Chain A
Amino acid sequence: MQVQVKLFAFFREGRFIKEDRELPEGTSAGKVVDDLGIDREEIGVLMINSRHCQFDTTLQEGDIYAIFPVIGGG
């Protein structure tokens, strides 16, 4: 299935801003994070089609999946 993955902030460095990815059916949001080499502890927000999701949420064909890191400095 095809899913568009959008990365934000420093997750973009050495990766991409947005990319269409071919993924096996039933791939979870968390699996994509892991495959991108992103530490789950750095995750701030995960959204599928602008709705908040969890690591174990299953992605569907045509989803737009956005991954935001924690930004915490002041």
Chain B
Amino acid sequence: MAEINRSTILQTIQQYARESILPLTDAVKIAAKHNCSLRDIETIALEHCITPSRFQRNSLSCPEQLRLFRSRVAIIGCGGLGGRTAELLARIGVGHLLLTDPDIFSESNLNRQIFCNTKSLGYNKVDIVSQELLTINPALTSTPQVRHFNSSSINTADIVVDALDSTEARIELSKLCREQNIPMIHGAVKEWYGQAGIDQASSPLIQTLYTQQKGPAATPKVLPMTVSLIASIQATETCKYLLGHDSPLTGNWLQTDLRQCQFDTIPISYDI
């Protein structure tokens, strides 16, 4: 965008903004008037400390909001953990989500997978999630891939979310992320129990947690509350990383037990 155009756009934004908040309908009008995207308008607004209205309740500064707006997160698996993590990241204002999952929604997903409802049964998970997230955050760029993941699923991402449901796939994803030096936020759930943490070269979490290369054969039972809890942790850790905050899960992982209401932070062992 030309500099003259940017300053004209900024003047328009400043005319419409009230107490440094820019409503969505006004941002859309300004985008149409200046023949550019909603994303362009909101980027300029944030650069000048004007917050898009839908983010006004976030406890983030404009520079922090802008940082998330410019971030790219790859979510591998768009079912229970992936769908909920994607929703949370879209709501807080992450700008680009790369969603990968080969599956369609089926009845057994109804107990725990967000955007899975009786109308979306039979549709590709990534397509439904993409389309629903755009109604929550219209400036979001969402790139759905209906396929198993490969390096193209992650290589433009700042960070990867492991929302897979297989030991073998997790080990493969961890390896891909390490080759590209991209941190991976791991999450896994079963029944009332869950775990989450950060997998990276300096702390090999997946290697620690999955010592046997193959997982148990049976499909695990999973409760929706456990999915919400672990997805919340994954979304939180993703945001902390993107914002440059420290995390107590660096070098540790979180083990959760909703039956006993116990949450343990366990050090990742390096003696493997």
Interface, chain A (partner B; CB < 8 A):
8-10, 12-13, 17, 41-47, 50-52, 66, 68-74
Instruction: Please pick, from A8, A69, A72, A74, the residue contacting B264 in the complex, using a CB distance under 8 A.
Output: A8
* Chain A: CB-nearest residue to B165: A74
Cβ B193 vs Cβ A71 within 8 A: yes
Bound complex: CA A72 to CA B217 (Å): 11
In the assembled complex, which residues on chain B have CB atoms less than 8 Å from the CB atom of A13? 259
B194 within 8 A of A: yes
In the assembled complex, which residues on chain A have CB atoms less than 8 Å from the CB atom of B212? 41, 43-44, 70
Of B8-16, B64-72, B132-140, B184-192, the stretch lying at the interface with chain A is: B184-192
Cβ B257 vs Cβ A72 within 8 A: no
* Chain A: CB-nearest residue to B167: A72
For chain A, what secondary structure do more than half of its interface residues adopt (helix, strand, loop), or is it mixed?
mixed
In the assembled complex, which residues on chain A have CB atoms less than 8 Å from the CB atom of B187? 74
Cβ A43 vs Cβ B211 within 8 A: yes
In the assembled complex, which residues on chain B have CB atoms less than 8 Å from the CB atom of A68? 209, 255, 266
* Chain B: CB-nearest residue to A6: B264
- Quick one: which of B145-183 are within 8 Å of A by CB? 162-167, 170
B95 within 8 A of A: no
Cβ A52 vs Cβ B269 within 8 A: yes
Per-position 1/0 for B246-272, Cβ under 8 A of A: 000000000101011010101101011
